[in-house]
Chains A and B, each alone.
Chain A
């Protein structure tokens, strides 16, 4: 790699500071960083694998060279000095305590070495982070990123705020990819039949084969990859096909867009993506479409942002609130369904019928025969149809990704009939440069393999052995192929089966490109030299071309040469701009002309009411299993279920009763002959008669993923990859312990306290209502009672001066936060971001089960009303930085105190760990290191730590700090310039990650600050403020826009309540 310009921005704090471009030799610096970091280590460890590898890494840890590397990587590596002690165990610890005894906490530390550069890279300022723009390629469209890099180590991944589509939002998976990069289980080198080989050796044999196959046009050479996201990759393949016309490329992801593609093909004659413009929609109808729960839904970031734009309750010029209304008909309860103003629980197999019926109701087709609907369903259908018709052109119907083509077709037809096309929905080229029907392709590939036609099978970044449909028996077929190759960042199930395994690169390690869901192109630029010298798919594919040694960088640059014009003499100007901006302007797709005339295919007959169907869904966090080894994603409880680690057989309470099981029972699920063992877990609002299994767990490898949950692929077949009826359930009698961070206390329904006495309510939810923790109203009620959040008992905030003591005055800055409950869609992006920013430890299933999760920020989910058809509320909960902080008063050593700017700060190194503060915290947001949770051993994880945040040791209390490290950075900048900190200059990690701007942070003493304005809104209330804690974090009460036809007002100001 030579002569690569990399544009980057220096930032005071994220989002601020002037940007300027400069050039520097990434190659040189990469060599530097590499030399000083992992190169040597790699040499030392060459030839050691698995456990042995890590053991010897530990031995290494002592050696000065190693400390050198770490020191270099960590100019201010921050961790409590005690860490080596706790590492080396008891004797040392005792020794340390001896040393401590009598000394004033500041102890005699060991000599620390300094390892300066030999040649320092020019524009590196150690201790000042640099931000690089790149993108995270994901099957459903790339997520454009701005990555924080400290001494050339990426330490924080966030959305690119300037990007036209996502505008800075991110999601848990995107946040998690950072840990994926530093995953110690990543594949370290190339293997051939289990023996270590050099990359060169592979290239040699691969190219030799190609040479001899050239004559036959490459017949017998197959490439199997995950969904291709890179235009350059497509271009490379296109070129390759010229010389290898008979070579085949098959894409397969277990979670794919076949239904959508099939429908669009039928409607437009060509594959198309549908882009929905929710900001223009008054009525949104989701047909099992989970578009608010994360990157798993194409275009999530934009959809979520637009959806919440219309729920911020800012008065439009018309004087109206122009609030949208969301209807959801869905099977598995999702955050989308829980955010809906009206939700209908439907079995997945009923949705196609429902879609057709809806189409008929709005005059876009004929109703399906033989479907019978419950009264609720009929009522729902009728009023939805009415609402839709009333707002033609200002409404939109969204089909579910996990629904068959017919639902997509119906959606196309309805949107067409209502004249939404071009207004609330447009159809464009596909983000995938080479769209295909993946399941069918895989079938034919397997057929070829079994037929012995396949001589070379190169598997790129896919794990079919684990995730291919069970009926295809992919692994057996693999045995029939002469030579099999697997390139991947992990040596996974497939990598262990194939002849060759090539250790692949992470997207932060290699050059590539990708399109965001709107088509805007982003160049994926690496931020660090491959940690383990991995290789990218581009390099493999390039071998098929006449210039096989062209680097990925050059290939990518060539692809976009046209979009990167020179400026005068500066040939690299355009290219640098692309890298600096993180995307190529004006490359978004334009709408296809002409709406689709979709003929809705006849839907299958309605399944028998008493039969039980199985629904397969990608996991919210580990997706199809590729992120199963990312600790954060496993530990952060999934939305809705609050299930951390594990997956489960999710079903409604009624179904649970029907099959005579109770939660935690291990069930044997049999689906046309195939069996899987799955523990049962009840989900409020789940459709009756269907069981949802999340894919992606039950991995065999990985110290995180291994042994977590069960593998749902075992019963997933190619003919019914979405859902399948006719399952039989048997209790095995075993019991499985879950790590559910919040139960709904169904062990003890709220018969005695709260609720309607029916015993079907969640006591937790009822209490939340009675205690004014959740406050909401319908739109009409809100109009009549703008101050509803403060009406009613226990909802008024005591006046600070009624106290016997004078209240403490905060005259300068006063930091505060406002969280909009209307905008929070409970997607967990903020939680994941907090993990990354604050070096929060992963504690593992057992500790989570004991209730010792370390998350500083959590999303509380309260289920209101009958758990069979609940209304839910998401409430992000972190330290409230109370002005009368109960925790501070009881700390005997003053380890938690208030700063003059009103931060409730936690001084880890002063904490002795009495845990009194946690007991006295009404919000229970303090987290305690009961054991040594922080990982001080694993070197690759050390590289990931944020150097500005102390790594907490055992026996210390910790909690949300309002990202004090960011505040202080901003302060220093401001002080240097003798000015006040500007509004928006300090952005907390959670705020930065939130795709819907639900979280706003700032100085509440600054009259013009956003947070001040939000806090002045009448909806703004403090949780538990009536016990006079005076929280600095407040919430904007929820307002729902219900359809009076469907439900009477549910809020507390409803006629029947008041």
Chain B
């Protein structure tokens, strides 16, 4: 009587053993990739919006300032989505009967909101504040990418915890002069395009923006007054700061005088300089849980 199994089954048995191992490994790798995939993170996906609003056109084309629409980005954790009124400021005059803008006009007429789909959507247990990032030299484009080159808005980065931590553990890698916050085209300094910075003598109690001046044109070359690095402050905030500072910083509103400028040709150098002069908290502080989760 014949054998239960034929010759080939030996090979088969061993193969299957090896295969099981491989499958397990493959599965692990897949899941690891999956959790970071755009399918999960929405990275680079373009949600369909009621109005195909083009940041490219408005920012690059028309040169609108970020804050023209995102008004509270310096004042609040929430950058702000423009009300219909903001659109109508212009579109009451131009493109008044463009097909694309119908939803805007409807909203204006009916008083119902334009219903956008959130592109940068953090989980609800994550507390992110635009306010502090913008004030401490984190440029829009560092997180949102070249918005001025996006006909349709999409999410440039994964916005996952590991991505946040990358920067929180080493802010120097991304920090830039506060004067360059809204500069979409900002590039880290290099031999070709160096940056000169000077820290003003007053440290304590001066808004980050005012404690350091940076310029991309060599101040020594007498090319005139270096543009002052400072976020524009509305009177209210100035008042608030000065008032709050009444005791320990009477000098806050005084425009600091540039002193000796230092030349920076690399992001590392500039980064560590700014981290020091902007009083950025230590990586250990920044990567502590309660910073983002409460």
User: Within 8 Å by CB, do A and B touch in the complex?
Assistant: yes
Residues of A within 8 A of B (CB): 10, 12, 16-18, 20, 35-36, 64, 68, 72, 75-81, 102-104, 106-109, 111-120, 125-128, 812, 897, 899-901, 903, 905, 907-910, 948-950, 961, 964-965, 968, 972, 975-979
Pairs across A and B, CB under 8 Å, 6 listed: A111-B47, A115-B113, A117-B83, A118-B107, A907-B293, A975-B132
Residues of chain A lying within 8 A (CB to CB) of residue B90? none
From A20, A104, A908, A976, contact of B293 by CB (8 A): A908
Asked whether B135 lies within 8 Å of A950 as measured between CB atoms, the reply is: no
Produce 1/0 per residue, B113-151, CB < 8 A to A. Answer: 111111001011101010110011000000000000000
Asked whether A18 lies within 8 Å of B239 as measured between CB atoms, the reply is: yes
Residue in chain A with minimal CB distance to B85:
A119
From B41, B47, B245, contact of A977 by CB (8 A): B245
Q: Is B281 an interface residue (CB 8 A)?
A: yes
Residues of chain B lying within 8 A (CB to CB) of residue A127? 72, 76-78
From A18, A112, A897, contact of B118 by CB (8 A): A112
Q: Is B191 an interface residue (CB 8 A)?
A: no
Residues of chain B lying within 8 A (CB to CB) of residue A10? 236, 240
Residues of chain A lying within 8 A (CB to CB) of residue B161? 106
Q: If the complex has contacts A18-B244, A964-B294, are A978 and B204 also in contact, measured as CB distance less than 8 A?
A: yes
CB of A580 to closest CB in B, whole Å:
15
Produce 1/0 per residue, B26-68, CB < 8 A to A. Answer: 0000010011000111000001000000000000000000000
Bound complex: CA A115 to CA B111 (Å): 12
Q: Is B290 an interface residue (CB 8 A)?
A: yes
CB of B211 to closest CB in A, whole Å:
6
Asked whether B289 lies within 8 Å of A907 as measured between CB atoms, the reply is: yes
Q: If the complex has contacts A977-B241, A978-B208, are A961 and B75 also in contact, measured as CB distance less than 8 A?
A: no
Asked whether B118 lies within 8 Å of A114 as measured between CB atoms, the reply is: yes
Asked whether A114 lies within 8 Å of B132 as measured between CB atoms, the reply is: no
Bound complex: CA A18 to CA B121 (Å): 34
Asked whether A81 lies within 8 Å of B123 as measured between CB atoms, the reply is: yes
Asked whether B204 lies within 8 Å of A948 as measured between CB atoms, the reply is: no
Q: Is B81 an interface residue (CB 8 A)?
A: yes
Bound complex: CA A72 to CA B203 (Å): 39
Residue in chain B with minimal CB distance to A77:
B124
Asked whether B127 lies within 8 Å of A76 as measured between CB atoms, the reply is: yes
| Apart from A112-B118, A976-B135, A976-B208: 4 A-B pairs, beta carbons within 8 A | A113-B115, A120-B85, A905-B288, A965-B127
Bound complex: CA A897 to CA B287 (Å): 12
Q: If the complex has contacts A81-B124, A125-B75, A900-B285, are A102 and B35 also in contact, measured as CB distance less than 8 A?
A: yes
Q: If the complex has contacts A114-B81, A978-B206, are A79 and B35 also in contact, measured as CB distance less than 8 A?
A: no
Asked whether B115 lies within 8 Å of A64 as measured between CB atoms, the reply is: yes
Q: If the complex has contacts A948-B294, A975-B279, are A20 and B236 also in contact, measured as CB distance less than 8 A?
A: yes
Residues of chain A lying within 8 A (CB to CB) of residue B278? 978
Residue in chain A with minimal CB distance to B41:
A106
Q: Is B284 an interface residue (CB 8 A)?
A: yes
Asked whether A117 lies within 8 Å of B113 as measured between CB atoms, the reply is: yes
Asked whether A80 lies within 8 Å of B40 as measured between CB atoms, the reply is: no
Residue in chain B with minimal CB distance to A22:
B236
Q: Is B250 an interface residue (CB 8 A)?
A: no
From A18, A72, A103, A950, contact of B34 by CB (8 A): A103
Bound complex: CA A64 to CA B50 (Å): 14
Asked whether A126 lies within 8 Å of B76 as measured between CB atoms, the reply is: yes
Most chain B beta-carbon contacts within 10 A, residue among A78, A103, A964, A978: A978
Asked whether A81 lies within 8 Å of B125 as measured between CB atoms, the reply is: yes
Q: Is B160 an interface residue (CB 8 A)?
A: yes
Residues of B within 8 A of A (CB): 31, 34-35, 39-41, 47, 72, 75-78, 80-85, 107-108, 111-118, 121, 123-125, 127, 129, 131-132, 135-136, 160-161, 203-208, 211, 236, 239-241, 243-245, 248-249, 252, 278-279, 281-282, 284-285, 288-291, 293-294
Asked whether A899 lies within 8 Å of B290 as measured between CB atoms, the reply is: yes
CB of A982 to closest CB in B, whole Å:
9
Asked whether B211 lies within 8 Å of A978 as measured between CB atoms, the reply is: yes
CB of A8 to closest CB in B, whole Å:
13
Residues of chain A lying within 8 A (CB to CB) of residue B135? 975-976
Bound complex: CA A16 to CA B240 (Å): 10
Q: If the complex has contacts A103-B34, A119-B85, are A125 and B76 also in contact, measured as CB distance less than 8 A?
A: yes
Asked whether A116 lies within 8 Å of B113 as measured between CB atoms, the reply is: yes
From B123, B240, B279, B284, contact of A106 by CB (8 A): B123
Residues of chain A lying within 8 A (CB to CB) of residue B85? 117-120
Asked whether A978 lies within 8 Å of B240 as measured between CB atoms, the reply is: no
Residue in chain A with minimal CB distance to B278:
A978
Bound complex: CA A65 to CA B150 (Å): 29
Most chain A beta-carbon contacts within 10 A, residue among B72, B81, B85, B294: B294
Bound complex: CA A12 to CA B243 (Å): 12
Residues of chain A lying within 8 A (CB to CB) of residue B72? 125-128
Residues of chain B lying within 8 A (CB to CB) of residue A968? 127, 290-291, 294
Bound complex: CA A976 to CA B209 (Å): 9
Residues of chain B lying within 8 A (CB to CB) of residue A108? 39-40
Asked whether B125 lies within 8 Å of A975 as measured between CB atoms, the reply is: no
Kindly list the 4 A-B residue pairs having the minimum CB-CB distance in the complex, ordered from nearest. A18-B243, A127-B78, A117-B83, A127-B76
Bound complex: CA A961 to CA B82 (Å): 35
Bound complex: CA A903 to CA B288 (Å): 10
Asked whether A117 lies within 8 Å of B84 as measured between CB atoms, the reply is: yes
Residue in chain B with minimal CB distance to A17:
B244
Residues of chain B lying within 8 A (CB to CB) of residue A109? 121, 123
Q: If the complex has contacts A118-B112, A900-B285, are A106 and B107 also in contact, measured as CB distance less than 8 A?
A: no
Bound complex: CA A12 to CA B83 (Å): 25
Bound complex: CA A20 to CA B242 (Å): 13
Bound complex: CA A115 to CA B281 (Å): 35
Bound complex: CA A18 to CA B135 (Å): 20
Residue in chain B with minimal CB distance to A894:
B289
Residue in chain B with minimal CB distance to A895:
B289
Residues of chain A lying within 8 A (CB to CB) of residue B116? 113-114, 116
Asked whether A909 lies within 8 Å of B77 as measured between CB atoms, the reply is: no
Bound complex: CA A10 to CA B241 (Å): 12
From B78, B107, B115, B245, contact of A126 by CB (8 A): B78
Asked whether A909 lies within 8 Å of B211 as measured between CB atoms, the reply is: no
Asked whether A75 lies within 8 Å of B129 as measured between CB atoms, the reply is: no
From B82, B236, B288, contact of A900 by CB (8 A): B288
Most chain B beta-carbon contacts within 10 A, residue among A20, A104, A118, A972: A118
Asked whether B80 lies within 8 Å of A126 as measured between CB atoms, the reply is: yes
